[in-house]
Amino acid sequence: MTMNRADKPLMSIEDIAVSYGNSPVISGLSTVIEEGTLVGLIGPNGAGKTTLMLSAAGQFRPVRGHVYFEGSDVYEHNRDFKEKVGYVHEDPFFYPYLTAEDFLRFVVGVKSVPKGDIDGQIHSLLKLVDLWAERGKVTSALSMGMRKKLAIAAAMVGRPRILFLDEALNGIDIESTYRIKRSLRDFAAAGGAVILSTHTLEVVEKLCDRYLLLKKGRVIADLRAGEVTGQRGVGEGGSLERYVIRMLSDPDDVDLQ
Amino acid sequence: MNRLPSPSPRLMRSWLRPQLWMPPFLWGPPVHVRDTVARVAAALLIVSISVVVYLSATGPRLHELPDQEALIDVFFRIVFVPIMVLLVAWYIASLKLVPARASEYVFLNSLPLSRSSMHRLFLISGMCRFPWVPFCMSVLLWALAVVAPASFLIRLNVLALAVYALLQTAGITLHLVVSLKRAGGTSTSFPAKNSPLIQLGVVMAYAALPVIWILYPGQISGGSFWLVVGACGLIAITLFAVSKHVFESWRGTNVILRSIDMRDGSPRMGYKAWARVLSVALVPLKSNPLLIRNLVRSSREASLGSRFILGLFFVAISFLIAMNNESIQDAATILSGMFYLYAFFVVMKDMDRLGADEELPALIYSMPVTKGQLYLSVFVPMIVWLATIALVQAILVVLAGGGVALAARFVLMSILISLVFCVIGVSSAVGGYPNRTDALKRFLSGMFSLAVLIVILYKYRLVVMVAVVFLSLLSLLRSRLYRT
């Protein structure tokens, strides 16, 4: 894993609070995402993972705090920021009457990709997610796994600087998962950043170099890949799973109020 | 803090992006193809508008009118019923599609689009969802060419198309308003869920305006035509502004994103108060949690609203068709035939509740219920619904001068037939589980066999039907339920 750019902040999230009506979901959360990192977002259901990703991706304005991308407030320059962001929702949407290729062309058109680069990008993205043979099928005829792959390809349109993947690798076949994971590593190595939310700890453990553990809208653990071993209650050679379970079940480590 | 580089002129002029103003079927092709198609389409549009104006709205053609009596006669005898069928199809299709609108918004919100672009795109894709509706309406209105001049029909079609676009915009705006209202409360239900009543209003208005112009053709000829066109333009501008404002407020509430987040947590299900009352009122069923749950669930779903509205549509259409006959006996016979067709489709649809995609099979393994209770939970709502429809039709027969005896015979026969359909439907669903196609094949072959038997033993049709019900019930009780 290339970590030579890891000390340069790409995104900084400063003391954000998000609420739905009167119910707070995230309160006082701050963190920094560096260039070249793959961040795994872990936490129980309702911890605020999706909300945090939506807020960081400029899609859900926090009631308090700021999100900066390369030093600029993402909500002040929302459209420009979104040109540099790729987002895969847990349940992605597609226009059912468009083919896989046409759907990518739609996203390409909206994302202002230079004309000369359009065909090349579509070709390489369809190859990357192994949908080249299915490019002529309408999206409603694609299987769930294929739709996920298409959503990943759509998120990578326009060569974004930062990718948000919400349970994006679920339901994808082994070979494609391998290829996507490899390309995510390459993406990070080229100076991008990936934020991946998932409940599958194996994926986080093998792919990510930093883990953010969320509980009740707050970060209760933020550590690098090598730092799990030796943590209290986990011991030498301990797994991420053991660490997460210990952190989530130990009331001393988190203010449950 | 630093600022991001200023947006390029290309980015600023979002209207230059074809995706943001072209119909969705032109979103896909490569840029050079799309641009060429767009140019040709724009040129064709301008030529078409000029031709339409010349042929229908200038000089003496603007004042051409049809023979009103002949027009009304042909319209109600030939065109009206297909229009009603078209509207029912549109209504069903629109109810099925609406939940995707919220997902579409979430997707668009992740793309670099300005607020006005997103609003425009949301409206365009909403309007283009049912292109077959204005097309079919136009074809049906052109069927009046036998009694109406072409210039009049062109004016009528142009206005029908304009009304379609306006009503679609109004419908989308009203849905957003309803979503906003729901977001103001504590409800955690999906905010963009369709309101069957709004859609009904849109559909009815779309049917009503052309009918008014056919009844009063003078309103779309001469200077009145341009007045109507002007009014449509003003309404369009106002609607666009209002929908933009509502869309902005809707975006601001974040309720759509809230619903995404709720998927991650435990769903909070709540029953409506009237549904709780209903479940308590059904005392004999109270001992069966599955039955109550299923009934409450059924009544809670929006599908009940759509079933209610579709039932009303059915009653209205079937009554209009039946009343074309002078003899009330003939009318009652036609009404019976249409009711059997309706019952057939209702049962076929309800068979899905015992299918693999529904929750009932899963519940069977987790709850202490018997087969009989399960069957009842499907039978009772089906029979009650069909009996209600039959009763309403019978009341209409009485009001039309059919007499109580005729109406009573109609109701009894309808309920018996419904019972037969329901029993065959449920036994087919159980026998074919989990294969829906197999279940449907069983149902269709069962219905066919019954029809053949009735034709052969017509004199003893009542006995045949009672025997079929009895034998099917017996086989149901003896059958092995799913994997048990």
Summarize pLDDT for B161-174 with one digit per residue, the tens: 999 999 989 988 88
- Give A-chain residues touching B10 at CB under 8 angstroms: 112
What DSSP designation does B5 have? P
Indicate whether B1 pLDDT > 50: no
For the ranges A151-155, B149-153, B397-401, the lowest mean pLDDT is seen at B397-401
Q: Which of B27, B100, B112 sits opposite A79 (nearest CB)?
A: B112
pLDDT surpassing 50 at residue B27: yes
Instruction: Say if the Cβ atoms of A111 and B111 lie within 8 Å.
Output: yes
| Residues ≥6 apart with Cβ < 8 Å to B185 | none
Residue B236: the pLDDT is: 92
pLDDT at residue B430, rounded to an integer: 80
Give the chain A residue whose CA is nearest to the CA of B99: A93
Q: Helix, strand or coil for residue A188?
A: helix
Is the Cβ of B99 closer than 8 Å to some Cβ of chain A?
A: no
pLDDT in the model for residue B237: 92
Q: How far is A74 from chain B (nearest CA, A)?
A: 9
The nearest CA of chain A is from the CA of B191 a distance in Å of 13
Say whether A115 and B3 touch across the interface (CB within 8 A). Answer: no
Cβ–Cβ contact A99 with B under 8 A: yes
Report the 10 Å Cβ neighbour count for B264.
20
Q: Mark yes or no for CB contact A80/B11 under 8 Å.
A: yes
| B contact test, residue of A20, A55, A85, A157 with most B CBs within 10 A | A20
The more confident residue out of B198 and B100 is B198
Chain B within 8 Å of A60 (Cβ-Cβ)?
yes
* CB-nearest partner of A93 from B24, B25, B100: B100
Q: Do B28 and A79 touch (CB under 8 A)?
A: no
- Judged by average pLDDT, the poorest of B241-245, B468-472, B480-484 is B480-484
Question: Does residue B479 contact residue B427 with C-beta atoms inside 8 Å?
Answer: yes
Do B19 and A91 make contact, defined as CB atoms within 8 angstroms? no
Residues of chain B contacting A126 with CB distance shorter than 8 Å: none
A105 lies within 8 A of chain B by CB: yes
Tell me the three state secondary structure of residue A23.
strand
Partner residues linked to A223 by β-bridges:
A211
Residue B6: Cβ-neighbour burial (10 angstroms; 0-12, 13-18, 19+): exposed
CA distance B374 to B371: 5
* Higher pLDDT among residues B100 and B36, named by residue: B36
Q: For B336-375, what is each residue's pLDDT tens digit?
A: 888 988 898 888 888 877 766 655 555 554 555 566 766 7
Task: Summarize the confidence of residues B444-457 as an average pLDDT.
Answer: 88
What's the pLDDT score for residue A105? 86
B435 vs A154 pLDDT, higher one: A154
B180/B293: higher pLDDT:
B180
Residue-level pLDDT at B277: 45
Q: B95: distance to nearest CA of chain A, Å?
A: 16
**Is some CB atom of chain A closer than 8 A to the CB atom of B25?**
yes
Q: What is the β-pairing status of strands A210-215 and A38-42?
A: parallel
Q: How close A67 comes to chain B (CA, Å)?
A: 12
- Nearest residue, CB atoms, B24 vs list A57, A91, A97: A97
Half-sphere exposure of B136 (CA within 13 A, CB side): 18
Cβ–Cβ < 8 Å for A233, A226: no
Region B467-474: mean pLDDT is 85
Q: Write out the two tokens for B133.
A: 């509706």
Q: Name the one residue in this structure whose structure tokens are 């100076």.
A: A191
Q: Cα B88 to chain center, whole Å?
A: 6
Q: Does A46 touch chain B (CB under 8 A)?
A: yes
A21 CA: distance to closest CA in chain B (Å): 8
The more confidently predicted of residues B52 and B162 is B162
Residue of A nearest to B4 (CA): A72
Residues of chain A with pLDDT under 70: 1-8, 21, 230-238, 250-257
Q: Rounded distance, CA B319 to CA A151, Å?
A: 50
CB pairs under 8 A between A and B: 124
In the prediction, which pLDDT does A232 show? 64
CB-CB under 8 Å, A110 with B266: no
Minimal Cβ distance to A60: which of B18, B19, B257: B257
Q: Is the ipTM of this complex over 0.95?
A: no
Contact predicate B141/B147, CB 8 Å: no
**Is the per-residue pLDDT at B202 higher than 80?**
yes
Residue B252's pLDDT is what? 66
DSSP state for residue B260 in the 8-state scheme = H
Which residues, listed in sequence order, are joined to residue A99 by a DSSP beta bridge? A138
Q: What is the pLDDT of residue B257?
A: 58
Cβ-Cβ contacts under 8 Å, A95 against chain B? 24, 27, 104, 125
Task: Note which residues in 122-151 of chain B have CB less than 8 A from chain A.
Answer: 125
Distance from CA of B305 to the nearest CA of A (A): 26
Assign 3-state DSSP to chain B and report helix, strand, coil percentages, each to 5: 80, 0, 20
- Closest residue in A to B117 (Cα–Cα): A110
With beta carbons under 8 A apart, name residues in chain A contacting B268.
none
Range with the largest mean pLDDT of A22-31, A33-42, B109-118, B247-256: A33-42
Given an 8 Å threshold on Cβ–Cβ distance, is B7 in contact with A57?
A: no
| Sheet strand arrangement including A64-69 | A23-34, A9-20, A64-69, A72-73
**pLDDT score of B183 more than 60:** no
Question: Six-digit token pair at A28?
Answer: 């006082």
- Asked if the bond preceding B267 is cis, omega within 30° of 0, the reply is no
Residues 6+ apart with CB under 8 A from A64: A15, A16, A17
A92 min Cα distance to partner chain B (Å): 7
Cα A178 to Cα A182, A192, A207, B50, B220, distances in angstroms: 6, 19, 10, 58, 65
Residue with tokens 């906003």: B180
Residue B471 has pLDDT above 80, yes or no: yes
CB contact under 8 A, B265 and A111: no
What is the pLDDT of chain B when averaged over all its residues? 75
Q: Is the Cβ of B19 closer than 8 Å to some Cβ of chain A?
A: yes
Predicted confidence (pLDDT) at residue B259 exceeds the cutoff of 70:
no
Q: How deeply is A257 buried, as exposed, middle or buried, from its count of CB atoms within 10 A (0-12, 13-18, 19+)?
A: exposed
Query: Would you call B261 and A61 a contact, using CB atoms and an 8 Å cutoff?
Result: no
For residues B75 and B144, the answer to whether their CB atoms sit within 8 Å is yes
pLDDT of residue B232: 92
Share of chain B above pLDDT 70, in %: 71
Does A89 sit within 8 Å of B260, measured CB to CB? Answer: yes
The Cα diameter of chain A in Å comes to 57
User: What's the gap in Å between the CA of A217 and the closest CA on chain B?
Assistant: 12
CA distance B383 to B37: 54
pLDDT score recorded for residue B294: 52
Give the best residue of B26, B254, B259, B262 to mutate against chain A (max A CB count within 10 A): B254
A60 vs B479: which has the higher pLDDT: A60
At A84 the three-state DSSP class reads coil
Q: Nearest-CA residue of chain B relative to A95?
A: B104
Q: Half-sphere exposure of B276 toward its Cβ, with a 13 Å CA cutoff?
A: 5
The more confident residue out of B322 and B434 is B322
Q: Is A135 within 8 Å of chain B by CB?
A: no
Judged by a CB distance cut-off of 8 A, whether residue B18 touches chain A is yes
Encoding tokens for residue A34? 């560096």
